[in-house]
Amino acid sequence: MFLVQLFLPLRNNEGQPFSDRGFFDEVRAELINCFGGVTDFLRSPADGAGKHSHGKTNHDEIVIFEVITESVDRSWWAEHRKTLTRRFRQEDLIILCSVVERL
C-alpha cells in the first residue's frame, strides 16, 4: 500500500489567502472520487520553510491531504500536481508517496 501526501498552501504566491474553503473542498471531493477516501489536516496549519537557490528562505502555512491506495499511477499524480500548482497559483507543489504496511 502507498500513502500519498499533498502539501497545499493557505496563501497564493502573492501572499493572499484563498478567500474560501472552495479550493480545498474541491481537492477533497476529487480525492474521494478517485480513491474512495481522504484525510485532511485543515484545522492546524503547518509551517513549511524552504531555502531557494538564491539564498532566500520562503515560509508557507500549509495544509495536508492524505490518501492510501493499493497502487500509484505516477503519470496521473504528475498531471494532478500540475493542475493543483496552477489552481493554487504556485511555482511548485510537493506531493510525497511512501510505501506503508498495515499493522
* pLDDT tens, per residue, the chain with 103 residues: 999 999 999 887 777 887 667 889 999 999 999 999 999 887 666 666 666 666 676 667 889 999 999 999 999 999 999 999 999 888 889 999 999 999 9
What's residue 100's pLDDT?
96
Residue 33 belongs to domain with CATH number: 3.30.70.120
Residues 6+ apart with CB under 8 A from 100: 1, 2, 3, 68
Q: How many domains does the chain have?
A: 1
What's residue 56's pLDDT?
72
* Segments forming the whole domain that contains residue 42: 2-99
Whether the CB-CB separation of 7 and 92 falls below 8 Å is answered with no
